[in-house]
Amino acid sequence: MWDLLIRVRTIGWTAVEAAFLLIAMCVLLNIIIGGDADAFIATVAKNATAFLQSLPPGVFLGIVMIVALYGLLKSRLQR
């Protein structure tokens, strides 16, 4: 039972990481290619940019700092 939950959690986090990488890749490709980008890339980049611009100032930075602190603490506790 626990093995199944661990496997599902691992698959879930892998899917989330892949989605974030896809979004970051689309934003970077849109920056590099510009107006010649595919409709999918341009739409994802536009939506991601609109979402980040709609956040109040400092929220994105705060989330990044919390995630970085979590990763740092997790890596130090595993040693």
Q: What was the pLDDT predicted at 34?
A: 83
CA 18 to chain centre: 8
Delimit the domains of the chain by residue range: 2-77
Report the greatest alpha carbon distance in the chain: 50
Rounded-to-integer distance, Cα 25 and Cα 28, Å: 5
What pLDDT does 21 receive?
93
Alpha carbon distance, N-terminus to C-terminus of the chain? 28
Question: Residues 13-57: pLDDT tens digits?
Answer: 999 999 999 999 998 998 898 878 788 888 998 999 898 889 888
